A and B are shown apart, each in its own frame.
Chain A
């Protein structure tokens, strides 16, 4: 299995509070991704990174920001959490543009 660790595994937070989710990889892969999974929507891309300090927006990026200061870490931040951001968040990595994505075990975030 690809070495991907997401933390925390579960989190409950209140509306309006900032939240940061962490993705850590030990594979030295160049590409990293954040997805959210919601019933009836499958997985949707939030942001992705193609190198240290190189990031771009995905399909559902509003309300989210990311940072990648090291190859192994990709952080997803909700500046002010809303109930619509209650979801399961997955991090994924890929060694190149031809490869499949390998996923972490997800973070379940509940915003009350």
Chain B
């Protein structure tokens, strides 16, 4: 079974600085997808960024970027120029490519990100 590990229960960063959230995963599959979701206090689950395992290029979305190391099974999220609105729980998630199958996401336990003004 696949597992996703987020080793940092909580992180704190000063506004406007850069922070990196860690995620490792365990899988025997070669085709899969990785995601970061954000959950603010409103409880809504918001997709932040997505990475396809077959792509070597790291995904970026504005101030959010990932460092995807396939051999190391590592998928970290970097947030640049942190803003107060970035304060939230962040979940790393994995989805195997199942060629039409229904497999859902496997989630890590989350990292609580605090932004210090």
Question: Do A and B bind?
Answer: yes
Contacts from A to B (Cβ < 8 Å) = 31, 33, 35, 40-45, 48-50, 56, 58, 88, 90, 92, 94, 96-98, 100-103, 105-106
Q: Sample 7 A-B pairs with CB under 8 A, ordered by A number.
A: A31-B102, A43-B45, A43-B91, A48-B102, A94-B104, A100-B95, A103-B44
Instruction: List residues of chain A with CB within 8 A of the CB of B64.
Output: none
Q: Would you call the interface of chain A mostly helix, strand, loop, or mixed?
A: strand
Chain B interface category by residue count: 20 to 34
**A100, B43: Cβ atoms under 8 Å?**
no
**A48, B104: Cβ atoms under 8 Å?**
yes
Instruction: List residues of chain B with CB within 8 A of the CB of A88.
Output: 43
Checking A41, A50, A58, A105 against B43 with a beta-carbon cut-off of 8 angstroms, the contacting residue is A105
**B103, A97: Cβ atoms under 8 Å?**
yes
Instruction: List residues of chain A with CB within 8 A of the CB of B44.
Output: 103, 105-106
Which of B44, B101, B104, B107 is packed against the most chain A CB atoms within 10 Å?
B104
CA–CA, A93 to B59, complex, Å? 23
Instruction: List residues of chain A with CB within 8 A of the CB of B97.
Output: 97-98
Instruction: List residues of chain A with CB within 8 A of the CB of B109.
Output: 40-42
